[in-house]
Structure 1
Amino acid sequence: MAKFANHDEYIEAAPEQFHDLLVQLRARLAEALPDADEVIMYDMPGFGFGKDVVAGYAAFSNQCGLYVSKGAIAAHADEIAAAGLKATKTGVTFSAKKPIPDDLISKLALASREELGV
């Protein structure tokens, strides 16, 4: 993907089937982290404080991802699995057919912030 100046540009350039998911994800992260800055780091949109990215997101050809701290993933591994989603050490993948629940987005963002201490 190209370089993006802001979240709107990123979402617009993402595959169309993910636009609504990304808009919703962005809104949930903004609610959970109201004092965080919207940033673009590593060519991905995210929310953070200075150089600390608390939560980032991305769209790919077949899925989207929410990226948070390792501890946030570990702390909510059971909820991620219960939602039928796949997790890596620092991310959760989801799609339009299997979206990430709003409450899980908030929990992951807040746990990531707590782990990072920002």
Structure 2
Amino acid sequence: MQKFDCVDDYIASFPDDTAHLLQQIRQTIRECAPEAEELISYNMPAYRFKGVLVYFAGYKNHIGFYGLPSGNAAIEEQLSGYKQGRGSVQFPLSKPIPVDLIKKIVTCRIQENLSKKKKS
């Protein structure tokens, strides 16, 4: 398995169609969380802001998005149309990336991390 040092290299390792979708997700995260640190963690793109924010990864038939907020009914309802795992969702490559949903997830995760920091 190839080890990645930066998100640019990670995205460039995919076919153009998938790379375009990964770049779209990256840009969405950066717009919502401009202060977040971008890094490679678990050999996939990751973002930290006051703690772990989100991760994403490309696969043959989908893009995995990790770090879902808990207890947000509006987001949970929007996620219901996608295959999910514990704290993760799969966005099929055959459908447009749900940019608005990703924005909501990232914004909610920022708020979760900020509220955790206030409690500590």
TM-score, shorter chain, exceeding 0.5:
yes
Q: Using the alignment, how far apart are the partners of 1:90 and 1:74 within structure 2?
A: 14
Whole-Å separation in 1 of the counterparts to 2:54 and 2:96: 17
What's the CA shift for 1:26? 0.3
In structure 1, the residue corresponding to 2:70 is in which secondary structure? helix
Matched, 1:95 2:92: yes
Residue equivalent to 2:101:
104
> Distance in 1 between the 2:12 and 2:75 partners?
30
Q: TM-score, normalised by structure 1?
A: 0.84
Identify the residue that residue 79 of structure 1 maps to in structure 2: 78
Q: C-alpha distance in 2, partners of 1:36/1:64?
A: 21
1:76 aligns to what SS in structure 2?
A: helix
The normalised TM-score by structure 2 is 0.83
Q: How many residues align?
A: 115
Q: Tell me which structure has the larger Cα radius of gyration.
A: 2
Q: Which amino acid aligns with 1:63?
A: H
Q: Gaps (5+ residues) in structure 1?
A: none
- In the alignment, the residues of structure 2 paired with residue 2 and residue 72 of structure 1 have an alpha-carbon distance, to the nearest angstrom, of 36
Matched residue, 2:7:
7
Structure 1 residues 85 and 20: alpha-carbon distance in aligned structure 2, compared to 1, 3 A threshold:
same
Following superposition, which runs of at least 4 residues in structure 1 exceed 2 angstroms of deviation? Answer: 14-17, 72-75
Closer, same or farther: CA 115–76 of 1 in aligned 2, 3 Å: same
C-alpha distance 10-57 of structure 1, shift in aligned 2 (>3 A)? same
Q: Percent identity?
A: 35
User: C-alpha root-mean-square deviation of aligned residues, in Å?
Assistant: 2.1
Q: Is the 8 A contact 1:73 1:108 kept in 2?
A: no
CA contact (8 A) 1:65 1:91 kept: yes
Q: CA deviation at 1:3?
A: 1.4
What 5-or-longer segments of structure 2 have no aligned partner? none
Q: Is the 8 A contact 2:64 2:89 kept in 1?
A: yes
Q: Do the aligned residues in 2 keep the contact of 1:55 with 1:68 (CA within 8 Å)?
A: yes
